[in-house]
């Protein structure tokens, strides 16, 4: 874990706290927190299946939020990027971002 990952984690939690009650269902908030937790504690995405699955889940969630009109693309992209930056490396960019 390093300072950049810690800052990214903080941004994710701030986003969930700021938008959560009005823009996210409880289950969606939990999915975002869980993904950030998986990534912040991951040592490497190549061997951490749970972290890779968490990234995939965030990709699906961000796509659904934009497609439903509940979130703007820029907000979803920012969240997806922050969740990605919680992790130990940067795989190919998330398609939803």
Task: Please report which residue ranges of the chain form alpha helices under DSSP H.
Answer: 3-23, 26-40, 49-67, 73-85
C-alpha 39/C-alpha 83 separation (Å) is: 8
Residue 92 has pLDDT above 70, yes or no: no
Residue range 70-89, pLDDT digits in tens: 999 999 999 999 999 999 87
C-alpha 79/C-alpha 92 separation (Å) is: 16
DSSP 34: H
Residue pair 24/32 in contact by the 8 Å Cβ criterion: yes
pTM, two decimal places: 0.86
C-alpha 55/C-alpha 21 separation (Å) is: 22
Residue range 25-60, pLDDT digits in tens: 999 999 999 999 999 999 888 888 999 999 999 999
pLDDT confidence band for 1 (50 / 70 / 90): low
DSSP run (H or E) holding 87: none
């Amino acid at each position: 874990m390093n300072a950049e990952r810690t800052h990214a984690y903080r941004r994710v939690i701030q986003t969930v706290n700021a938008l959560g009650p009005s823009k996210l269902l409880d289950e969606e908030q939990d999915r975002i927190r869980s993904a950030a937790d998986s990534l912040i504690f991951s040592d490497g995405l190549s061997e951490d299946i749970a972290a890779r699955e968490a990234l995939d889940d965030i990709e699906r969630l961000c796509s659904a939020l934009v497609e439903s009109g509940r979130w703007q693309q820029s907000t979803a992209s920012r969240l997806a990027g922050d969740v990605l930056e919680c992790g130990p490396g940067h795989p190919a960019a998330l398609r939803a971002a």
